[in-house]
Copies of this chain bind each other. A is one copy, B any other.
């Protein structure tokens, strides 16, 4: 029989798939986003912060690549309205561009940084709330806008600490892909439904080139492919030669943009849309070149796909080229941290008019992980100096000490727990990763001195007790009260 209990206590638990961020998790991300925002601002982009909540109607009922209405979104009914948490920063931008179209400058350059919410099954490293960091230009049809976004992305990556040479931004154009589809009979311009399914299979296959390899892509372009688990994926129905023509074209790497694009001009000579795409790539390359963004930073790469539907012109992808070790200890390239492209139909939902737009989204968590992997994360803030409490009657003195440190710009705390057990105070300092503890008991107070204890040196000595010379080093010095700030500064400088 159940025991009689008082009212059940609530569980102290983050909801499933959500997480909390503590201390340097918050400040490291903030520092990175601040640096990106500075670049975006310099490029003339204005900050925009929309509400986290949108009407389901304005948000659109579909996440990209999701078929069921409302799938993937947190939504609820409020009086007569259905409201939902935004699932990205692009849908709210489309709403804003329509709602304020009379007031916003044209073109409208904006950046946005903030959390978005996805009602998806959580998994390792997959959370239902995460940050996005977007920059978009709405109302500019010129590929100069796309080129600008690519240059800005390069500057942003360098601003956060990714060295030139450690990243590359690949640029392609969906129209080139359309040209290829047209050339092999998977697309008829003006008939969007024609072979749409086969085209989808082909584009998805090209998008997964890295994972499938050349042979796997060819299979999927033609008769279909059986994967390791034995599952069969239907092919796009090209004959073997057509499939080979596609992969060969996309694999060719010539040593100049001009040479590459010349090959595409020749191969896509029959496709008006394909040639248009090649011309746009040429223009982007020239515009970037004029600004000094050469192939060491931004390259034209006709093999880039970037997902389905959505994009209508140039697409771009930033990849980090340095190696990290994967979970099995094998080296692999870090990979993609940002991507984007031109999408011309988002605002149309609201106004009926096509508004050209192009933009980029940086994967905030991916880029933070990259900075960590490079040991270039924003410097983790040092722990605070801890002023210990030896004598309850001297609380005012300890607060004066801590205030002196703070006014000198030094991060500092007075121990505010129960001061009875001095060992607990040092344990607390340890948990806070304090570099220095200040100690002032009755004796010190009488003499007008304080003890300044170097906790980092102390920890080193404790960790490596056999090194006798270290023991000779004094980890604790007695200094005049007036010299406390200077002494602490000296120690902090040692470990900066």
Contact = CB atoms under 8 A, between A and B. Distances in A.
A151 B403 contact: yes
Interface in A1-34: 9-16, 18-27, 30
Nearest to A16: B81
Contacts of A99: 12-14
Contacts of A85: 52-53
Interface string A98-124: 111000011101000001010100000
A410 B42 CA distance: 6
A405 B16 CA distance: 48
A64 B151 CA distance: 50
A431 B53 contact: no
19 contacts: A11-B55, A11-B57, A12-B99, A14-B50, A14-B54, A18-B51, A20-B51, A21-B47, A22-B48, A23-B47, A41-B411, A43-B406, A44-B384, A51-B129, A53-B74, A76-B76, A105-B431, A286-B396, A290-B400
Interface string A470-489: 00000000000000000000
A63 to B, nearest CB: 16
A144 interface: yes
A75 interface: yes
A399 B287 contact: yes
A60 interface: yes
A214 B50 CA distance: 45
A397 B291 CA distance: 8
> Sorted from nearest, which 4 A-B pairs have the closest CB atoms?
A76-B76, A44-B413, A12-B98, A290-B396
A57 B14 CA distance: 11
Q: Counting chain B CB atoms within 10 Å of each CB, which of A12, A42, A286, A410 scores highest?
A: A12
A3 to B, nearest CB: 16
Nearest to A427: B105
Given A53-B129, A139-B417, A292-B403, 12 more contacts: A15-B81, A19-B51, A20-B51, A21-B50, A43-B413, A52-B52, A53-B74, A106-B417, A107-B417, A142-B416, A144-B399, A147-B399
Contacts of A60: 10
A44 B10 CA distance: 30
For the complex, would chain A's binding face be called helix, strand, loop or mixed by DSSP majority? mixed
A350 interface: yes
Given A42-B406, A145-B416, A106 B26 contact: no
Oligomer copy total: 2
A58 B12 contact: yes
A273 interface: no
A441 B290 CA distance: 17
A148 interface: yes
Q: Counting chain B CB atoms within 10 Å of each CB, which of A20, A49, A350 scores highest?
A: A49
Q: Counting chain B CB atoms within 10 Å of each CB, which of A25, A46, A48, A51 scores highest?
A: A51
A351 interface: yes
Nearest to A431: B105
A428 interface: yes
Nearest to A433: B105
A249 interface: no
A352 interface: yes
Contacts of A399: 144, 147-148, 287, 290-291
Contacts of A263: none
Interface string A283-313: 1001101111000000000000000000000
Nearest to A356: B416
A137 interface: yes
A58 B18 CA distance: 13
A22 B43 CA distance: 16
A349 interface: yes
